[in-house]
Structure 1
Amino acid sequence: MPTVVIYDRLSRLYAEEAPDHRIAACKAYAAARGWEVVHIAMDTNVSGASKLEDRPGMREVLAWLPRADYVLAAKLDRYARSVLEFQRLLDAAKATKATIVTADGVVSPENSSLIANVLAAFAEYERDMITARITASKEHFRQRGNHLGGIAPYGYAVSGPVNNKRWVIDEPAAAILRECADKLINHGGSLTAMARDLNERGVLPPAEHARQRDGRKLRGQVWHSTTLRDVLYTPAVRGWLIQATPGTRRSALTNQPVLDAEGNPVSAGPAILDAETWSAVRAIVDGKSVGRGAPRGGKSLLLHLAVCSECNGPMYRQRRTVNGKDYSTYVCRAGVGKHGAHRPNVITARYLEEMVTADYLKRFGSFALMRWQEADGSAVLQLAEVTTQLDNLAGNLANLPAGGRAAQRVTAQITALEARVTELEAEAEHAVGRWVDAGGTVADAWAQRETDGRRSLLGDLGARVVVRPATPGAVRRFDPQRADVTYAGPAWMRDADPFAVRLAEIELEELLGDA
């Protein structure tokens, strides 16, 4: 029975459209043809102009190509709106002897090669027209100060007809902003203390406030100092429409006002904070953020691996250097200060990291390192490219004098490409990800990596460090008995077949016993 992979893509431009009916149409088409559906792949909020390898669902399709006779989508534009990307898909299908078809009957097994490229050109033209129209429309409404979609900034709500939406002040939220600005400027308030106070009073943070206002289900989010900082710092509190600064990620700290033709900020609604108050708030926030953007020393080795025995919460590395000596510690935030939920839990970072490192390398340093290789379909795309190169070289070789130097060079290239084809065909046989030998040992990788890479190795071996608070009255020195280090075992063993896992566990126990 012929096999088929069904693919569907949902564009950002039509996010309200559901894919269910298209998948059902594809299943009905496959059933009528007597094809067996072996896999269904979907991409949501993905542009048809994006590269094949940049789409998670399309990577699944490419990985399944060597095992499928057909790839089926509801319409041609579900595959791509770019002639180049659609041609790459056709080449990949040709290399694996699969056929691209559509459930609407426009591209069928009988006419696939003839009609596909012509229709793909029209799909690309349509996509360009839609993109140009939407870009022009957004620019028009932006210059008018209209709300362009999404949730309004905290302190505002959206009001007005579809083509003239504006911001209006949301008084409960605006009152919180004015209150916090006053505390920050006139009463020496801190962002952390104010965020804690808002949580204790039951004031909802921005996203939760918008959900409650719109009658949607709450998610239990709370205020953080960074959340409060952002809503006070953003130019939106002046009533200005904002956009990301070119070359930076969208952020309250980097956003800038949209400017009109005269270079003035475009107003989308009334101001919540006046110019003097907002400038004072930003000056205070900037003053408390000395060093923002400065290079960091790297994340801690045991971040997300060290936990507190009292609350099972994460231990964070608190950096401290005195006269060039490192006195950094791992601290459980839940046990800090008068608001702490349990007794303080602090331990010297350097000694804890050294203890975990020595234990880890002793146990696992000699293990062969494995790495996870995702079946992303890249081998199929490469196979199509290499096959095309082989065909071209074979045609050139036929026109060269036999035995000449040029013919010898082309023959050598063909031999190398044929070997590469064999490798790619073997790689294309895997439709799912798997663990492969990375070469070398765990100890080798540890020596070559920086802090982030070493933490990743600890995570792959399932490391967990449980730290207990110091005994009251004990001598203030590092006590290794306060930390329990356990390992779930290598991830490549944990994800294997249960029977194989048990065998690996027995082998691991024997190895650790010998060590």
Structure 2
Amino acid sequence: MSQPTCVIYDRLSRLFAEEAPDHRIAACKAYAEQRGWKVVHVATDTNVSGASKLEDRPGMREVLSWLPRVDFVVAAKLDRYARSVLEFQRLLDAAKSTKTTIITADGVVSPENASIIINVLAAFAEYERDMIKSRITDSKKHFRSRGNHLGGLAPYGYAVSGPINNKRWVIDESAASVLRDCADKLINHGGSLTGLARELNERGVLPPADHARQRDGRKLRNQRWHSTTLRDVLYTPALRGWQVQAVPGEKRGALTNQPVLDAEGKPVSGGPEILSAETWSAVRAIIDGKSKGRGSERTGKALLLHVALCSECNGPMYRQRRAVNGKDYSTYVCRNGVGKRGIHKPNVIIARHLEELVTADYLKRFGSFALMRWAEPDGSAVLQLSEVTGQIERLAGNLAQLDPNGTAARVVIGQLTSLEKRQAELAAEADHAEGRWVSTDNTIATEWEQRDEEGRRGLLADLGARLVIRPATPGAPKRFDPERATLTYSGPSWWQDLNPAEAALVDIAREEELSDQFAV
């Protein structure tokens, strides 16, 4: 009769990564020797959870490959195999198909009692794992409700301070000042995420991850700011000092996270606010308004792009950049009048002179005006309303499963009453919140001097600038003719007391009117 064979398996969990597996393997070898079994292979998994799938463990994959060729698999204890009944049952099924027996060296599971005791003990392993998971979940819920930091990096603009089990966010002033400056430039000075990210890189300002590494004395990775990085750190509700969490069913991210709410539906504070409600709301409105999907039209850097229009087709005039011997010979050109496929006669005009004409006229008319900006109402009421409504729906679903006369049902009904009251308050707040025009404390001329071409183009758009260019008269001298340009303004939106959405409708109507005129 041939000697029985066995494979030894050991798993080391992440929780006890400092513990060496040698003594457990030695115990398995001693057990096999006592039984007269030949050890043909030793397989180990290090830093692997007992709840992970069998096929996700390198060592366990080795065990599975040996099953058809051995009589037994030996581990020091049952929990070394798995802490999930489902995964352990899969291992048993695989072993049963090859007539292999699963054994533990501590004697709890032996060849004599394996078929009876294994499933019972596996259930206890699953129960232990569920208890650990429950304790961790309850602990996180408790600390989150107190506004404590739960681990990992704090949001950009904050650092973590305080004793263990009572850590909170404190403002990291060097990072917070970057956020405040970027918010101000976005709201009041026509800045863009791309331009601000470029400026931060040029100034040598470290992006969030490297900033945290420098603060903690760790090695930098030489990362850079990107427009999406800046968007995320300005968009998150954490800037209001609120704890945040992922929306159920959504991937965790700055654009989808929502504030953590207490039992009354109010945001849980994790630290002091960096941006006020009005400023944060205005930043989010600007970011939402400027977001574009794939394939959508994107603006360039020319001052008069989408301001200068061709009189022949009402299409945009594009700036063609050209320099000769250091001199600027750039032009604005309508593409519909270029080449053999052009649908009308050429329409080209010198860019430098045209931009100087528009700049002088614009500043003469509006330079002394106070620049206004549209302040959106605090959007936090809408965010909180959405989360409170979700909580009500979840509790209502749970209530249907409870005994209507039981203690649990009374507790849930009390929570629902509080949440419904808060829901009504938030709905009223969201319905009655109104935007308004507020002064930036700067004149239009001052802003014009401070902005780049992209920002100046925004100022032109704010006042409804429209520049219609006519083709040159055949045989006319090849020099700049200001009579070819007709510049009009629909006027500042705040004159008409329009909010941005209404102003956009006015712009559309004006474009349609111009289109009808050109068609004639």
**TM-score using structure 2 length:** 0.50
Matches within 5 A, 1:87-236: 87-109=89-111, 111-236=113-238
3-state DSSP class of the match of 2:103?
strand
Q: CA deviation at 1:8?
A: 1.5
2-structure distance, mates of 1:30, 1:225: 57
Deviations 1:300-359 (A, max 9, x none): xxxxxxxxxxxxxxxxxxxxxxxxxxxxxxxxxxxxxxxxxxxxxxxxxxxxxxxxxxxx
Match of 2:25 in 1: 27
Match of 2:463 in 1: none
Q: CA deviation at 1:141?
A: 1.6
Q: Is the 8 A contact 1:43 1:58 kept in 2?
A: no
Q: CA deviation at 1:200?
A: 3.2
Q: What residue ranges of structure 1 are gaps of 5+ in the alignment?
A: 296-515
1-structure distance, mates of 2:62, 2:191: 53
2:283 maps to amino acid: V
Q: CA deviation at 1:189?
A: 2.2
CA 1:181–1:60 in structure 2 vs 1: closer, same or farther (change >3 Å)?
A: farther
Q: Which has the higher contact order (CA 8 A, sep 6+)?
A: 1
Matches within 5 A, 1:374-413: none
Deviations 1:150-186 (A, max 9, x none): 2111111111122211111111221221122222222
1-structure distance, mates of 2:40, 2:209: 41
3-state DSSP class of the match of 2:9?
strand
2-structure distance, mates of 1:269, 1:47: 37
Q: CA deviation at 1:110?
A: 5.5
CA 1:56–1:106 in structure 2 vs 1: closer, same or farther (change >3 Å)?
A: same
Q: Is the 8 A contact 1:25 1:103 kept in 2?
A: no
Q: What residue ranges of structure 2 are gaps of 5+ in the alignment?
A: 297-520
3-state DSSP class of the match of 1:221?
coil
Match of 1:405 in 2: none
3-state DSSP class of the match of 2:64?
helix
CA 1:31–1:58 in structure 2 vs 1: closer, same or farther (change >3 Å)?
A: closer
2-structure distance, mates of 1:100, 1:183: 67
Question: Sequence identity of aligned pairs in percent?
Answer: 72
1:221 maps to amino acid: Q
1-structure distance, mates of 2:161, 2:59: 38
Match of 2:9 in 1: 6
CA 1:276–1:88 in structure 2 vs 1: closer, same or farther (change >3 Å)?
A: same
3-state DSSP class of the match of 2:228?
helix
2:83 maps to amino acid: R
1:240 maps to amino acid: W
CA 1:191–1:51 in structure 2 vs 1: closer, same or farther (change >3 Å)?
A: same
2-structure distance, mates of 1:103, 1:203: 59
Q: Is the 8 A contact 2:27 2:76 kept in 1?
A: no
Q: CA deviation at 1:103?
A: 4.8
2-structure distance, mates of 1:64, 1:210: 48
CA 1:73–1:253 in structure 2 vs 1: closer, same or farther (change >3 Å)?
A: farther
3-state DSSP class of the match of 1:223?
coil
3-state DSSP class of the match of 2:20?
helix
CA 1:228–1:115 in structure 2 vs 1: closer, same or farther (change >3 Å)?
A: same
Match of 1:364 in 2: none
1-structure distance, mates of 2:18, 2:62: 17
1:212 maps to amino acid: Q
Q: CA deviation at 1:251?
A: 0.7
CA 1:215–1:106 in structure 2 vs 1: closer, same or farther (change >3 Å)?
A: farther
Q: Is the 8 A contact 1:156 1:168 kept in 2?
A: yes
Q: Is the 8 A contact 2:50 2:79 kept in 1?
A: no
2:25 maps to amino acid: K
2-structure distance, mates of 1:139, 1:242: 13
Q: CA RMSD in A?
A: 2.9
2:118 maps to amino acid: A
Matches within 5 A, 1:40-79: 40-42=43-45, 44=47, 46=49, 48=51, 51-53=53-55, 58-59=60-61, 61-79=63-81
2-structure distance, mates of 1:199, 1:74: 56
CA 1:42–1:222 in structure 2 vs 1: closer, same or farther (change >3 Å)?
A: farther
1-structure distance, mates of 2:170, 2:53: 41
1-structure distance, mates of 2:59, 2:203: 45
2-structure distance, mates of 1:75, 1:152: 40
From the CA coordinates, give the structure whose radius of gyration is larger: 2
Q: CA deviation at 1:264?
A: 1.1
Q: Is the 8 A contact 2:28 2:75 kept in 1?
A: no
Q: Is the 8 A contact 1:7 1:71 kept in 2?
A: no
Deviations 1:457-476 (A, max 9, x none): xxxxxxxxxxxxxxxxxxxx
Q: Is the 8 A contact 1:238 1:275 kept in 2?
A: yes
Q: CA deviation at 1:278?
A: 0.9
Match of 1:409 in 2: none
Is it true that 1:265 corresponds to 2:267 in the alignment? yes
Aligned residues: 288
- Select which of 278, 285, 289 maps to 1:276: 278
CA 1:245–1:29 in structure 2 vs 1: closer, same or farther (change >3 Å)?
A: same
Deviations 1:385-437 (A, max 9, x none): xxxxxxxxxxxxxxxxxxxxxxxxxxxxxxxxxxxxxxxxxxxxxxxxxxxxx
1:42 maps to amino acid: D
1-structure distance, mates of 2:124, 2:108: 13
